[in-house]
Structure formats: C-alpha cells, structure tokens
Structure 1
Amino acid sequence: MAIKDLHHFLESYFTAHQCSIVHNDEGMLTIQLTEAMDRALMNRPFYWHYIKKMGYAGDPKQLTLITDPEKRDGKHEWIHFGSPRLHQILNHLHDNETYTKLFERINTNQKTALFPWLVTNVKISYEGKQKMDEMVSIGLHLINGTMKANMMDELRNKTIQASISDYCYTMTPMITLSSGYKRIERVLEDYIRNQQHDWAERSLETMEEEISLLRHFYKGEDQESDIRKEMDEIKRRYYPCIHFSVVNGGLFYLTEDAS
C-alpha cells in the first residue's frame, strides 16, 4: 500500500511542477528547478528579492537528491522518509495543492465516458521512541466502489490534464466525497491494525524504564509536582501513537480501463 518507490514519487512531483529532470539514474535524481520551485524549496528569499529589485531574471538552482542510501556520497543530499527535505516537499503539497480536479487525456472522435476516482495521498506518522513516516496512495472508484492501493503508480502511466478532452464526458459519482473518504479512512485503520508494532512495544519498554529511573532518583523526596511534570514529559516522548493526515488528493476522471 505504501509509496515505497520514493524515487518515482519525487520524479512525478518535480515533473508536475514543470521542473526539468537533468539526470535520472537509479537512486539519484538531478532536477533543474523553476523559479517558483526554487523559491519554495531552496530558502533564498534575499537572493530573489535582490534579483527582482535589480530587474534580472534570476538563476534557479539545480537540486540533486539521493534516494538510495548505498549511493550516498557526501556531496549530494540524501532524502528519505522522515528527512527534513521530504517533510518540506510534503508540506509544500499540503499548503499549495491539497485538492485538485483532473482528467485523463483521450484522443478520440467518439463519445467517451470518464469515471470519477477519489485519490488521496496520506502520510502515516508513527511516533514514539523513534519517529517514522509512511506515504500511502489510495484510489476509490466513486461509482462501483473499487479501491486501489498505489494509485499514484496507476496515474503515472496516464496523461493527466486540467481540462476534459473533446468528445469526452464525465459520469456522475454514486458515492459522495465525504463517504468515499470515510471508506478510505477505514482501510487505513485496518492497514495499521494488521501491522506488527514491535516499535511500539520497544517504546513502551523504554518509557517504563525512564519512569522507573525517575522514581528511583526522587526516592524519599517530597516533590510530587516535579515527579508528575517529568513523568508527563517522559510519556509525551515515548508513548507510542499513530496518526495520519491527507497530504493532497483530488477527483480524477479516468477511462473505464482504469477500473
């Protein structure tokens, strides 16, 4: 279910934002950023302020990302689930492109139906002694209820555009967006429930060890308020929890063969 191929996720992300892929090798991706993406990701506000004030076009940077940990070379940026750069990209998606409506491009001279899919990209956060994130992509057919994991991989093989193609028309959803999202939520909850959660057990063990040490440290002292405060902090750091949030999503109208 998870988007395990981070390399292709990033390739799709930058391509969708009109960035040129300069180098694309297994585990390494070099992107020529546009001005908009340089502003969004490279943290150079003073540079762009100066350039625009002087009336120049500006020189957006190239960004090289390493997605294969075995190819880390110290010169380029290693990106992985949980890394600051990936958080930045996900936040950019969340802030700027939470919801979209797109259509599959079809070259036809006959009437062709396009079927509605609710597609959501969700970040699952596992928090405890260690923190990790997982990206999940799910598509729900809003007429027959078919659900697909790794929906972004499905869309990658199609040409998607903002306007509907000539001779095409859209089918009316039978499942509402709110009902559809609740179905996806239930699938995510089942997915999480059926996983092995050794990490949570280890986190609880560490929490109990820290609390035991705390009690031992304060043994014989009447500082109940301090103990309670530090105990709450230990629980905040180590008590395992899982939550998920929608990074972005949308309504995609696709041909019948997508179902």
Structure 2
Amino acid sequence: MTIANLESFIVEFFNAYGCNVQNQESGVIQVELTEELDKALMNRPFYWHYMKSLNQQGVPMSLTLITDPDKRDMKGEWIDIGSPRLQQIFNHVTSQEKYVLLFQEVEAEINTPLYPWLLANFKISYSGRQKKEELISLGIHLLNGKMIVNMMDELEKLTLKQQISDLCYTITPIITLSSGYKRLEKIILNYIDNQPKEWANEAMETLNEEIALLQHFYQDDLDDKILKKEVEELNNRYTPEINIEVISGGIVYLLDNFPKS
C-alpha cells in the first residue's frame, strides 16, 4: 500500500466514526477520538470503568499518527501496513461494520433515480521471507457492469448517508451480488497473477537453504523428531502464501453521473 492510500484509508476510517481529524499534512494525521474508538483502540478499560463509577463523562484521547518514514522522528506514533495499530483498525472495521448500505445525498427537485454499486475493500496479505499487505478498493455498477479501481477515493468526494434523500428512488440491480462479487474477485486475482514473483522465489530459496543447513547438523539422524519439528516451523515461516480478505464493503446508491472525474 502506498503512503497516500494508507493515509486516505486512515482518514476515512476516523471520519466514518465521527472523530475530529484536527490536522492532516503529508505523512502526519492528528485526530481526536470518540469515546467508542478510545475504548476500542487505546486499551483504557480501567479509566472508563472509573469514570462510569463516578457517573462522569470521560475524555477521549487524541492520536498523532505518522505514515511518512522521513518523519518518524516527530512526536507521534509510527503506523504502517504491519503495525499493531493498523491491525486494531482492521479488526474494528471487520467486527463492527463490515457491510454497509449508503445513499448519495441529493438535493432533488424532481424524482431522481439512484443506481446501485457494489463496493468491496480487499486486503491482500503476502507472507514468506517477508510480509506485505495491500488494500485495494473496487466498485462495480450493478446495472451495466462498469468497474472502478480506488472506489473509496471516488466515494470520499461525495456526501453519503444511511437514509435516501427526498424525491430519490433506487433502481433495482440487474447483476446479482454474487455475480458482481465474482467479477471483482477476478480483478483481484488477475492483479495478483501479474505481480512480480521474485518475493516467492526468494522465499523458497531461503526455505531450501535453511532446511539444507538444518539437515547438515542432523545428517546422522534425519528421522530425529526435533529435526522434523524444526523443518515444519521453517515451512510455516518461509513458504510463500497469498491470502485475500474482504475487510469491508456494501451497496452504495449513487447518481447516474458517478464518477464525475
């Protein structure tokens, strides 16, 4: 994931949960948490229990998150694709609001149709000698099959809400959710197939080297139980794998001119 995409995802997350993003410059995000996200992210159960026992309203904390490697020395918390903080955010999104139904806000003076889009935010995890994760947001128009990459970036330009605007109505999808999802999944699989394979080859080379070195030390007893256990651990550590997970998604009803760009 590029720094720009990571920043965009983080800001969208906090905005979606009603947090006050106080400052956002390149590589640095300052945000004032809500009580909900303070409880979810900051690990302060005793504080909130104490405030509740006093019948007082607690004060959520603020976070300064740094995504630019050149600014890691600044006061704040470094966050990247493998950091525990980002995993907390992923887990919260998955457990709380994995799927949504949203409508574009429209100030309509006549009856206005809104068209269905299927949104899916994929997390691709690569594991081997090194670990890497990517976020890819895709959307598909459920009438004509048009697909958009970086769907979340386009949706960020709109005002979305949970209730449909006055004088608006929804158009019934032609493409089923199952069919739409399979098309998005095919895009992801094609993307993975076209990625460089050096990382996997390097992982297998390292695995074979480590096993050969280990067998050298146990050459007099290749059936040793400890050897077999250590070989299994090496396989678990270095065998290249790719996992695909939908971390969030849903149906979004939008005007016919989407996207405008």
Q: When the two structures are superposed, what TM-score results if normalisation uses the length of structure 2?
A: 0.96
Name structure 2 gaps, 5 residues minimum. none
Q: Distance in 2 between matches of 1:127 and 1:66?
A: 24
Q: Contact 1:125–1:131 at 8 Å: present in 2 too?
A: yes
What is the match of residue 243 of structure 2? 243
What is the match of residue 52 of structure 1? 52
Match status 1:68 vs 2:68? yes
- Per-residue CA deviation, residues 33-83 of structure 1 (Å, 9 max, x unaligned), is 111110111110111011111111011000000111111125310111111
Following superposition, the deviation at residue 200 of structure 1 comes to 1.1
Q: Distance in 2 between matches of 1:232 and 1:72?
A: 37
What is the match of residue 186 of structure 1? 186
Secondary structure, in 3 states, of the residue corresponding to 2:130? coil
- Per-residue CA deviation, residues 121-150 of structure 1 (Å, 9 max, x unaligned), is 111000011111101100011110111100
What is the match of residue 91 of structure 2? 91
- Per-residue CA deviation, residues 131-171 of structure 1 (Å, 9 max, x unaligned), is 11101100011110111100000100000000000111101
Match status 1:28 vs 2:31? no
What is the match of residue 167 of structure 1? 167
Q: When the two structures are superposed, what TM-score results if normalisation uses the length of structure 1?
A: 0.96
State the one-letter code of the partner of 1:107: E
State the one-letter code of the partner of 1:73: D
- Report the CA distance shift for 1:47/1:18 in structure 2 as closer, same or farther (over 3 A): same
State the one-letter code of the partner of 2:26: E
State the one-letter code of the partner of 2:128: G
Following superposition, the deviation at residue 227 of structure 1 comes to 2.6
Q: Distance in 2 between matches of 1:41 and 1:155?
A: 26
Task: After TM superposition, list the pairs within 5 Å mapping 1:128-167 onto structure 2.
Answer: 128-167=128-167
Name structure 1 gaps, 5 residues minimum. none
Matched residue count: 259
Q: Distance in 1 between matches of 2:223 and 2:120?
A: 49
Q: Distance in 1 between matches of 2:151 and 2:179?
A: 19
Following superposition, the deviation at residue 2 of structure 1 comes to 7.6
Identity %: 49
- Per-residue CA deviation, residues 82-123 of structure 1 (Å, 9 max, x unaligned), is 111111101110000111100000001111110100001111
State the one-letter code of the partner of 1:15: N
Q: Contact 1:82–1:133 at 8 Å: present in 2 too?
A: yes
Secondary structure, in 3 states, of the residue corresponding to 1:256? coil
Secondary structure, in 3 states, of the residue corresponding to 1:55? coil
Q: Contact 1:64–1:76 at 8 Å: present in 2 too?
A: yes
Q: Contact 2:3–2:68 at 8 Å: present in 1 too?
A: no
Secondary structure, in 3 states, of the residue corresponding to 1:182? helix
Q: Distance in 1 between matches of 2:185 and 2:3?
A: 17
Following superposition, the deviation at residue 186 of structure 1 comes to 1.1
Q: Distance in 2 between matches of 1:117 and 1:2?
A: 25
Q: Contact 2:125–2:132 at 8 Å: present in 1 too?
A: yes
Cα RMSD over matched residues?
Answer: 1.5
What is the match of residue 78 of structure 1? 78
